[in-house]
Each structure stands twice: as structure tokens, then as C-alpha cells.
């Protein structure tokens, strides 16, 4: 198993030092940690707890309450299937099921090679394009399950 990278960059340390005494700043710091590492590892949360003198229980309470925060490393190519109302009604669940079938993993899991993960996400703000799939920052809208094999193939190695 690969070692978890937890050493914070100088920029991240500066950010935390700047924000740690401001009320309500925990979420901002957690967003910045996830931006740097792609998720919030236990080790990163422990480092943050020491830096801001906050109990781990409080940090994990916030991390696990908000759906946006990830506690496991996502795949290199994160497939985020929108399940907001419009996308759900127009076939979002079918897209998730097809992604699971193609990649042979369930939503919330990562392929053995670390290349792909599938996440069901809340509204991504593209309701007019429902149903929507995001791969990284790439947005694919008005999808049918038949389009997914070609889209996923674009991201294989």
C-alpha cells in the first residue's frame, strides 16, 4: 500500500495560518486541503487538528457531514454523475449503473488500477443539460448510457 502524502505545502500552511483564528473557517481550510490532496486523509486531518488546536472529532464531524468532502483517495479520473432533481429525473441513476457496469466497481469505489472512481453528486448547476456527467473538469450533458463507453475510453491511460 502506498504511503499517504500528508506533508502540507508552504502555500497550504500559510493559508491555514491565515485562516485558523477566523470564526467559521474550518470548512475553508478543509476545502483547501482537499484541493491539494484530492481528499482528506486521516493523517491530513490530524495535521490540521494539531495546527489549529481543534479536536479530531470536530474536524471529522464536519468532514463526514458534508457530502463534498472525500475521505478516500479518488481515482485519477473521477466520474461524478449528477443526481440533482433534473438529472435524476432524466436518467442519472441509469448513468451511474452503466458506469458501474463498464468499470466493474460500485459508486464510491476506485478501480484496482486507481484510474477511475464513480461518485454520485448533488446538483452541479447544469440542469439544462440533464443528465450530466463530469470527468474532472470536463462536463458531458444530455447523455444516454450508450455514450458512456466512448467517454470513459477517452480517459483510459
> What average pLDDT score do residues 136-153 get?
96
Q: Structural domain tally of the chain?
A: 2
Do residue 101 and residue 40 come from a single domain?
Answer: no
Distance CA 129, CA 121 (A): 15
Regarding whether 86 and 32 lie in a shared domain, the answer is: no
Let me know if residue 95 belongs to a domain: yes
Q: 90 and 142 in one domain?
A: yes
pLDDT value at position 4? 52
- Of 38, 65, 92, which marks where a domain is finished? 65
**Full residue range of the structural domain in which residue 49 is found:** 10-65
pLDDT of residue 8 exceeding 50: yes
Residue 44, domain member (yes or no):
yes
* pLDDT value of position 5: 57
DSSP per residue over 105-128, as a string?
A: --TT-B-TTSSEEEEEES--S-GG
- Model-wide pTM > 0.95: no
Tell me, yes or no, whether 103 and 137 share the same domain.
Answer: yes
Residues 61 and 81 in one domain: no
Give the pLDDT confidence of 54-100 residue by residue, as tens digits.
999 999 999 988 878 889 889 999 999 999 999 999 999 999 999 99
The percent of residues above 90 in pLDDT, for the chain, comes to 82
Amino acid at each position: 500500500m502506498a504511503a499517504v502524502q500528508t506533508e502540507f505545502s508552504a502555500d497550504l500552511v500559510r493559508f491555514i495560518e491565515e485562516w485558523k483564528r477566523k470564526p467559521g473557517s474550518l470548512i475553508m481550510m478543509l476545502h483547501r486541503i482537499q484541493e491539494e490532496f484530492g481528499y482528506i486523509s486521516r493523517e491530513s486531518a490530524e495535521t490540521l487538528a494539531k495546527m489549529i488546536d481543534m479536536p479530531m472529532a470536530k474536524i471529522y464531524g464536519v468532514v463526514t457531514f458534508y457530502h463534498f468532502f472525500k475521505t478516500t483517495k479518488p481515482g485519477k479520473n473521477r466520474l461524478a454523475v449528477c443526481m440533482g432533481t433534473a438529472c435524476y429525473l432524466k436518467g442519472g441513476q441509469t448513468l451511474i449503473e452503466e458506469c458501474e457496469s463498464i468499470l466493474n466497481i460500485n459508486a464510491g469505489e476506485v478501480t484496482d488500477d486507481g484510474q477511475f472512481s464513480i461518485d454520485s453528486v448533488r446538483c452541479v448547476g447544469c440542469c439544462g443539460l440533464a443528465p450530466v456527467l463530469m470527468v474532472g473538469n470536463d462536463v458531458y450533458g444530455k447523455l444516454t448510457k450508450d455514450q458512456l463507453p466512448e467517454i470513459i475510453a477517452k480517459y483510459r491511460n
